[in-house]
Structure 1
Amino acid sequence: MATRRTLLSAAVGAVALGLTACAADDEPDAELASAPLPDTVPQGTTLAVGDKEHQKAIEFSGLADSLTFEVKWANISGGPQTLEAFRADALDLGSVADIPPIHSHWTGIPTKIVASRFRQDPLNHAIYRLGIAPGVAVATLADLRGKKIAYSPGQAQGALVLRVLHQAGLSKKDVELVELPSTNDVYGTALASRQVEVAPIGGVQIKRYEAKYGKDGAKTIPHGLRDDPGHLYAPISVLADPAKAAAIREYVEVWAKAWRWREAHPDEWIERYYVKDQGLSTEDGRWIVENTGVADIPSSWTEAIARHQETIDLLAKETGNKPLRAEDLYDRRFETVAADALGAGGNP
């Protein structure tokens, strides 16, 4: 287990390299912002996409048939995997939360967000809750003082921990951060074994954790913060390719329509994706759908960028990384593409 003194030490060299790389990328970034967004995809264009879950919605809905280019689906999800695939030039477009686009700039791979979605009721349909280990006395955020908390640098869960501490008037010095990957059910297992006392857990893991360990005194509590951003992002080098940019534009349109398809066909989505593809029970699938709510796909990113800036400022302060402008993380040529694809009433 790592203590707060060793957090992010592995990233120091990469961050130093990234700061140099970012300076070199200022010029292509400016050229990208002034370039028109192509709307015609040349024949023979391919796009490598890591959008593991939503890929199925695009396929089940039949929307995949409307794409005019070849999609090479990558079995990749999460910030670390996506970033490594970008680094290896093996991926053109990835689906993540709000932290990986920040982390990519800090590690020398400048990217841009090309689509954003949120939840229409973000506090009542939060992605994460704070899992509390059996027998640990935590009822409010103030009770986090002195606790061992799971922490994953470079991922949404790690940033959420820092935001929760800030909300509670605490700092990293007031707790013991234990660096753990947030993949699969690592956090749930760590909580059950008391390796950590608090950890952000999301999705059906919330339901399963409460059901499995509730009898032992385990529980989850709300954190009271927005944790709902979901983005598509791509390396600047990919977006600078007119053929790839045109393909991404088309993909964003289909991506938006597939969200509305999921919401309009919950039973089919549960049965075909959660049950048959993911091996969950129908009950678990329904719980996920009910606790996800409706996707908000805005035509303006201004408010989202302001919230993103607050997160960047906090992370820069807490990790010692260089401050960034949230505006620079977005390719605003794509700002209205998804919303425009939905049209009046938000239907495909």
Structure 2
Amino acid sequence: MSLPTRPRRLRLAALTVVVVAPFALAGCGGEEAGPKLEQSAAIPDEIPKDTVLRIGDPATQVALELSGLDDELPFKVEWANISGGPKTLEAFRADALDVGSVAEIPPLFAEWTGTDVRIVAARTTIDPLQHPTYELGVAPGVEVDDLADLKGKKIAYSPGQAQGALVLKVLQKAGLTQDDVDLVEIASVDDVYVNALGSKQVDVAPLGQTLVPPFLAKYERDGAHTIAPGVRDDYWELYAPTEVVEDAHKAAALKKYTEVWAEAVDWVNEHPDEFAQGYYVEHEGLSEEDAKRLVEALGDKEVVQSWDDLIAEHQATADLLAREQDRDDLDVGALYDRRFEPAAQAASDDDKAGATS
């Protein structure tokens, strides 16, 4: 479906809340907690108009503003400029956030480190191996042309982040173990991995697509390059502290948000240039050339409508991490609140109806 686009009115400075200090929202919800909702009970459709949902999802925030889909949210949104697993989890623990947007690893580590969470929506890349979220950056002068060449190399490794899980999946695909390489534990923050590669602290590091252009611009002339990881790294999810889905008012608002979020995913696919300008250029500070390249590199997305295969693949990831990082076994299926599963299907059906009307 091609959604209508109203005149552009993105005004980030005028949004309800833009968090500068990470946890400025703590205790600022301003509304009383809703009635207790048992996890076996249906999520209500009625949303009291004074309900507040605190959301850490900057990319969707921009997409909703650009498309006008934010008008479909019948509750108050307090947007938090928070993204990434560690910051989102810290915000959950500070009671500063109701829902965050992250890759598949943070919900697992939330559970392993004592924060009970539920996954309420997920999206994937339509052609994930052709459009990886990460590429493997290879330091100048290091000979790595395929995954087998990783043997004996120093590889940047962040156990609690998606990048760390990617490294373990890559080793598994290459038929290597942790003993075959030298894992150098470094948290992936900003351009830390780029600098670690440039200084030869590591030979190889997983780089998000936003970091690939600056890495190559700095070091390609000296022989640096990237290779594809060859494994799926595309799952992206909305998740929330369990107490959020146990609050009837917030749960109802969250269900509506997942529906509009699903519409935003489609809108971005259909308006890549507008999204690239609004988010990657104006919000993230990339050049227009890099923004366009990034949108093309990441590819189109789709919302997961039936969760069975998703849960099975997520379980395989959890089992790999449990085995390789000596974590407790985890029943991933218990993390998915399947009451939210029909929301994406409803949004998809509405899109199809709108496209044919």
TM-score (norm 1): 0.88
Partner residue, 1:270 = 276
The number of residue pairs the alignment matches comes to 319
Give the 3-state SS of the residue equivalent to 1:335 in structure 2: helix
Give the 3-state SS of the residue equivalent to 1:40 in structure 2: coil
Q: Which moved more, 1:96-105 or 1:263-272?
A: 263-272
Partner residue, 1:141 = 147
Moved over 6 A (4+): none
- Structure 2 Cα separation of the partners of residues 91 and 347 of structure 1: 33
Alignment of 1:126-137 (within 5 A): 126-137=132-143
Does residue 90 in structure 1 map to residue 96 in structure 2?
Answer: yes
Partner residue, 2:52 = 46
Q: CA deviation at 1:340?
A: 1.5
Give the 3-state SS of the residue equivalent to 2:121 in structure 1: strand
Does residue 326 in structure 1 map to residue 332 in structure 2?
Answer: yes
Are the structure 2 counterparts of residues 276 and 70 from structure 1 closer, same or farther at C-alpha, using a change threshold of 3 Å?
Answer: same
Q: Which consecutive residues of structure 2, in runs of 5 or more, have no partner in the other structure?
A: 1-35
- Structure 2 Cα separation of the partners of residues 149 and 244 of structure 1: 42
Are the structure 2 counterparts of residues 346 and 299 from structure 1 closer, same or farther at C-alpha, using a change threshold of 3 Å?
Answer: farther
Partner residue, 1:72 = 78
- Structure 2 Cα separation of the partners of residues 162 and 312 of structure 1: 11
Mapped contact 1:339–1:346 kept (Cα < 8 A): no
- Structure 2 Cα separation of the partners of residues 110 and 152 of structure 1: 22
Q: CA deviation at 1:61?
A: 1.0
Q: CA deviation at 1:170?
A: 1.6
Q: CA deviation at 1:168?
A: 1.5
Give the 3-state SS of the residue equivalent to 2:54 in structure 1: strand
Partner residue, 1:340 = 346
Structure 1 vs Structure 2: percent identity of aligned residues? 55
Q: CA deviation at 1:347?
A: 6.6
Q: CA deviation at 1:93?
A: 0.1
Question: What's the CA shift string for 1:174-205, capped at 9, x where partnerless?
Answer: 22211212121111111011111100001131
CA RMSD across the alignment: 1.7
Partner residue, 1:204 = 210
Q: CA deviation at 1:345?
A: 3.7
Does residue 104 in structure 1 map to residue 110 in structure 2?
Answer: yes
Mapped contact 2:263–2:347 kept (Cα < 8 A): yes
Mapped contact 2:135–2:209 kept (Cα < 8 A): no
Mapped contact 2:101–2:237 kept (Cα < 8 A): yes
Instruction: Tell me which of 282, 296, 299 is aligned to 2:302.
Output: 296
- Structure 1 Cα separation of the partners of residues 234 and 85 of structure 2: 15
Mapped contact 2:266–2:302 kept (Cα < 8 A): no
Question: What's the CA shift string for 1:303-343, capped at 9, x where partnerless?
Answer: 11111011000000011111111211211111120232132
Partner residue, 1:177 = 183
* Code of the aligned partner of 2:207: I
- Structure 1 Cα separation of the partners of residues 210 and 49 of structure 2: 41
Mapped contact 1:249–1:337 kept (Cα < 8 A): yes
* Code of the aligned partner of 1:261: W
- Structure 2 Cα separation of the partners of residues 36 and 345 of structure 1: 26
* Code of the aligned partner of 1:309: Q
Q: CA deviation at 1:210?
A: 2.2
* Code of the aligned partner of 1:147: K
Mapped contact 1:299–1:340 kept (Cα < 8 A): no
Does residue 216 in structure 1 map to residue 222 in structure 2?
Answer: yes
Give the 3-state SS of the residue equivalent to 1:225 in structure 2: coil
